Amino acid sequence: MIHLLFTGGTISMQRSSEAGGAVPALDGAALVGLAPGLAAAGPITVEDWGRYPASHMGLDRLWALRNRVAEIAATSGVRGIVITHGTDTLEETAYLLARTLDPTVPVVVTGAMRTSEEEEWDGRQNLVDSALVAGARDSRGRGTMVVLHGTVLSGLEAVKTDAGEVDTFRAPRGMPLGIVEQGVVRFSATARRAAPLPTLPTALTARIAMLPAVVGDGGALVDAARAAYDGLVLVAFGRGNMQPALAAAAQRWFDEGKPVVLATRCFTGEVLPIYAFEGGGARLIQAGAIPAGPRAPSQAWMELVVSRSAGMAYGAGMEA
């Protein structure tokens, strides 16, 4: 049995002349009716968990979703789970699920970049492809994956790269796990299965800020956020560099024992301790900043939320 869990997003939206744009409209049954190809994946069950835009998925709602998925995965007879989700924050949700769920039962997160009224609607094929991946025998043990536009990505690596194109999800710091082509799921021979889980939080309680370095930044926003947040993801230039004044503001977080994760604003590549000038990434790491590793800023943020909520160091038990 494939369990289809509908949470909303563009895949469930239609245009409203009254509202002046696309709004949530379709439930799970309606979407299944628009995707007759789902029959190829075998028996399915449908659950309407919600009808939310991606931007409405706060931490409490995400944790409730994570717990519901864990319950479904523990149900006898469930081969895989497909979650429809808005694409704007799909990468945070996928990372959370990949990071906190047992990888045995495959979970596939999907969505759409077009509404069902548009000629180029991608939701139908994404839904069918996702169900095929969720039910594939070789998917077992791969944990949470993201499937859109025929590409299978790890939930730890998938990132939305374009605001409007249907081929938007990529793994800029990783590699695709596989593809779905003409109804056949093909995993790469080098695609690894998911690793065992580290200690998990009981809720997402950590308050984590994420702020960018900008030219001429004197650190006022970083200072202002310090009292209200438990940790910070600082999105720096290049290999982790910033203005000296901003680095000094980050130091004040270290002085209070609050973690600062150093990410890069670059699309690919990682923060590394190369530059030792004042404000350079090497200086910041020496002072206590934690490199984000192979994570986009959004993923580094979710990793710090999970880690700090569990009382662990950033990425504890994970490959850096």
Q: Known catalytic residues?
A: 10
Q: Residue 291: which of 318, 267, 260 has the closest Cα? A: 260
Residue position matching structure tokens 């200086």: 283
pLDDT of residue 125: 96
Alpha helices, DSSP H, located in 110-204: 123-135
pLDDT of residue 320: 39
pLDDT of residue 235: 98
- Report which secondary-structure segment, H or E, holds 177: none
CA–CA distance, 298 with 174 (Å, rounded to integer): 15
pLDDT of residue 196: 67
Backbone dihedral region for residue 104 (phi beyond 0: left; psi -120 to 50: alpha; all else: beta): alpha
Asked if 92 contacts 62 with a C-beta cutoff of 8 angstroms, the reply is: yes
Domain covering 208-309 assigned CATH 3.40.50.40 in the classification: yes
Asked if 95 contacts 303 with a C-beta cutoff of 8 angstroms, the reply is: yes
What is this structure's pTM?
A: 0.95
pLDDT of residue 282: 97
Domain with CATH 3.40.50.40 in the chain: 208-309
Structure tokens at 85: 């989700």
Q: Which residues in the chain land under pLDDT 70?
A: 196, 317-320
Domain with CATH 3.40.50.1170 in the chain: 2-187
Structure tokens at 214: 């900008």
Residues with Cβ within 8 Å of residue 286, at least 6 apart in sequence: 273
Q: Residue 140: which of 108, 106, 109 has the closest Cα? A: 106
The C-alpha R_g of the chain, in whole angstroms, comes to 20
What 179-183 contacts at long range (C-beta under 8 Å, 24+ apart), as own/partner pairs, is: 179/150, 179/151, 179/152, 180/129, 180/132, 180/133, 180/147, 180/150, 180/151, 180/152, 181/150, 183/37, 183/40, 183/132
Task: Indicate the Cα dihedral angle 38, 44, 49, 54, nearest 10°.
Answer: -30
What is the topology classification, in CATH, of domain 2-187? Rossmann fold (3.40.50)
Q: Residue 307: which of 264, 273, 259, 252 has the closest Cα? A: 259
